[in-house]
């Protein structure tokens, strides 16, 4: 809106006084209605002494303010909606500047835990004795080379302040002011970690029992053969021969060894005894793989025939085999990669696969694209204590495949390994089918 007023020069002094009063009044009462004013000289009939002055008053500033207010309303609405969503989560959530690590926002759940920490540095608030960004910080991995959001990263972290475990999901998002920031949503998994540790201890005990039972079984076989040859030797040595007495003492030692093995077998028998029940292999594979790969750099791909025949197995022990084979794949791909899990129904003829009898089987495999195993050491991968490749944790390396073979044998199955250096490794397991249409 513009107002044009003509004032003769003879009335200019009076008009100026009145206009200043109008402008002052408008500035007070008009809420910005008369906020800009221009005066320009005009001539009449070419004579400069006869001047008139136009006065232009505009509401443009008010209109601009309205437009800015209208533009802010959707932004403020988006901010409020995001805050309501994050505040409704039963998890902690916060936003930080990716350059300065300044906390820009925390949700209600996190504010209840650590108070109002907006404006502070995240690694000073959430971790203890930190003199710089956390070593596990994902800021550099959340964006691509152009600085654009690229991925969501999942990690498990133990907080150094309260000693609790958290599962954190980090992502780069565009903030309301246009900059790229890090949004982290985390949940407390301390109880889950405790149960996982208990389960791991139980599995470790079962592993030792299964392995010990397998070793005792092999020891008894060797002892039986030795006793047989010892008995033949005594038959061929006269009683009066001094060697006969030595053979008799040796036989007594063998008998004591057999009794000791029987006591050990009885001691671990209950722990190592499988508890068989009918299970669906596809469900067991899906659940076990997803549980093991959670939070790791490995990705999974499933190629499962449908429907798979059911198998009668000890679910915990077969799950343990799956974990060992996945651990083997992770060691083969330290930089991460993809693991392919395949499963199908097969029928084997006599002698087609080792000593397996004729019948129906479920064959499943774990395939990696790692460094592979050379043909020279491939026959030894299932030997107790033998590690196909170096591992930082030596006490856990070299036993998983040996235990897996023992468990599969106890289920009247077979485990095999195929590998090619530079291509990858495939671990194949055959389990007898319990239900065949």
Q: Which CATH number fits domain 89-188: 3.40.630.10, 3.30.450.20, 3.40.718.10, 3.40.50.620?
A: 3.30.450.20
Strands (E) across 239-376 are located at: 276-279, 298-304, 311-314, 337-348, 359-367
Beta-bridge partners for 165: 158
Residue ranges per structural domain of the chain: 2-58, 89-188, 193-271, 276-432
Predicted structure pTM score: 0.50
325 burial via Cβ count (<10 Å: 0-12, 13-18, 19+):
buried
Please say if the pLDDT value at position 64 is more than 60.
no
How far apart are the C-alpha atoms of 170 and 132, rounded to whole Å? 19
The residues, any chain, with a CB within 8 Å of residue 24's CB and separated by 6 or more, are none
Q: What is the pLDDT of residues 336-359, one digit of tens each?
A: 899 999 999 999 998 888 889 999
Provide the 10 A C-beta neighbour count for residue 59. 18
Q: Residue 433 pLDDT more than 90?
A: yes
Using the predicted structure, report yes or no on whether residue 51 has a pLDDT greater than 50.
no
Residue 222's SS3 state is: helix
Residue 40 has pLDDT above 70, yes or no: no
**Structure-model confidence comparison of residues 218 and 48, the more confident one:** 218
More confidently predicted of 216 and 9: 216
Is the Cβ–Cβ distance between 426 and 418 less than 8 Å?
yes
Residue 310 to residue 277: CA distance in whole angstroms? 10
On the question of a common fold for 89-188 and 276-432, the answer reads no
Better-scored residue on pLDDT, 33 or 136: 136
pLDDT attached to residue 351: 81
Mean pLDDT score of the chain, rounded to an integer? 78
Which has more pLDDT, 177 or 321?
A: 321
User: pLDDT tens for residues 290-333?
Assistant: 888 877 778 999 999 988 999 999 888 898 899 889 988 988 88
Helices (H), 38-120: 60-87, 108-114
Q: Which has the closest alpha carbon to 421: 377, 386, 373, 379? A: 373
Least confident of 48-57, 190-199, 318-327: 48-57
Cα dihedral value 21, 23, 26, 32, nearest 10: -160
294/169 Cα distance (integer angstroms): 12
Query: How does residue 53 score in pLDDT terms, banded at 50, 70 and 90?
Result: very low
Domain 276-432 falls in which CATH fold? Heat Shock Protein 90 (3.30.565)
DSSP, residue by residue, 15-39: HHHHHHHHHHHHHHHSTTSS-EEEE
Could you tell me the two tokens for 281? 């292999």
Determine what percent of the chain is predicted with pLDDT higher than 70. 76
Q: What is the reported pLDDT for 11?
A: 54
Cβ within 8 Å of residue 367, ≥6 positions away? 329, 339, 340, 341, 342, 424, 425, 426, 427
Q: What is the pLDDT of residues 377-429, one digit of tens each?
A: 888 888 776 776 555 443 444 678 888 888 898 889 999 999 999 899 999 99
Query: Residue 42: which of 30, 51, 33 has the closest Cα?
Result: 51
pLDDT recorded at residue 341: 96
- pLDDT at 5 > cutoff 80: no
- Which of 25-39, 75-89, 160-174 is most confident? 160-174
> What CATH number matches the domain at 193-271, 3.40.50, 3.40.1710, 1.10.287, 1.10.3470?
1.10.287
| Secondary structure of residue 378 in the 3-state scheme | helix
Predicted local distance difference test score (pLDDT) of residue 38? 46
Strand partners, 186: 92, 168
User: What is the reported pLDDT for 316?
Assistant: 82
Which has more confidence, 157 or 206? 157
SS3 content of the chain, % helix, strand, coil (to 5): 45, 25, 30
Angle, helices 315-332 vs 400-410, to 10°: value is 150
> Which one of 144-153, 244-253, 364-373, 392-401 scores highest in mean pLDDT?
364-373
Question: Which residue is it, tokens 């004591």?
Answer: 256
Where does the pLDDT of residue 37 fall: very low under 50, low under 70, confident under 90, or very high at 90 and above? very low
Q: Given pLDDT bands bounded at 50, 70 and 90, which one contains residue 366?
A: very high
- Beta-carbon neighbour count of residue 119 at 10 Å? 8
**Residue carrying the six token digits 């800021």:** 139
Mean pLDDT of 199-220: 76
Distance of alpha carbon 261 from alpha carbon 297, whole angstroms:
43
């Amino acid at each position: 809106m513009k107002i044009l007023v003509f004032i003769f020069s003879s009335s200019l002094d009076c008009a100026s006084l009145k206009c200043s009063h109008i402008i002052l009044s408008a500035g007070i009462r008009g809420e910005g209605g008369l906020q800009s004013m221009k005066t320009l000289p005009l001539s009449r009939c070419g004579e400069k002494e006869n001047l008139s002055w136009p006065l232009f008053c505009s509401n443009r500033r008010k209109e601009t303010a309205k437009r800015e207010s209208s533009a802010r309303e959707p932004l403020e609405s988006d901010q409020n909606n995001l805050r309501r969503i994050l505040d409704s989560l039963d998890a902690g959530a916060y936003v930080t500047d990716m350059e300065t690590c300044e906390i820009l926002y925390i949700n209600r759940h996190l504010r209840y835990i650590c108070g109002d920490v907006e404006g502070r540095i995240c690694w000073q608030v959430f971790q203890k004795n930190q003199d710089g960004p956390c070593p596990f910080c994902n800021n550099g991995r959340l964006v691509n080379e152009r600085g654009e959001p690229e991925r969501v990263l999942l990690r498990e972290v133990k907080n150094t302040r309260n000693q609790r475990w958290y599962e954190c999901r980090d992502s780069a998002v565009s903030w309301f002011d246009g900059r790229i920031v890090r949004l982290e949503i985390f949940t407390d998994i301390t109880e889950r970690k405790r149960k996982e540790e208990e389960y791991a201890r139980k599995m470790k005990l079962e592993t030792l029992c299964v392995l010990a039972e397998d070793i005792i079984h092999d020891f008894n076989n060797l002892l039986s053969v030795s006793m047989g040859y010892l008995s033949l030797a005594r038959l061929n040595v006269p009683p009066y021969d001094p060697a006969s007495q030595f053979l008799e003492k040796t036989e007594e030692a063998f008998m004591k060894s057999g009794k000791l093995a029987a006591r050990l077998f009885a001691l671990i028998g209950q722990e190592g005894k499988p508890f068989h029940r009918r299970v669906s292999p596809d469900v067991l594979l899906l659940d076990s793989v997803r549980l093991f790969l959670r939070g790791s750099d490995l990705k999974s791909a499933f190629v499962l025939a449908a429907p798979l025949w059911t198998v009668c197995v000890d679910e915990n022990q077969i799950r343990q085999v799956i974990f060992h084979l996945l651990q083997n794949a992770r060691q083969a791909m330290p930089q991460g990669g993809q693991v392919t899990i395949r499963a199908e129904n097969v029928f084997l003829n006599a002698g087609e696969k080792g000593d397996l009898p004729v019948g129906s089987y479920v064959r499943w495999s774990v395939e990696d694209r790692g460094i592979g195993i050379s043909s020279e050491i491939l026959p030894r991968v299932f030997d107790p204590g033998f590690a196909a490749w170096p591992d930082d944790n030596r006490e856990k390396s070299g036993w998983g495949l040996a235990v897996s073979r023992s468990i599969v044998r106890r289920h009247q199955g077979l485990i095999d390994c195929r590998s090619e250096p530079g291509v990858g490794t495939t671990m194949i397991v055959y389990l007898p089918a319990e239900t065949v249409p």
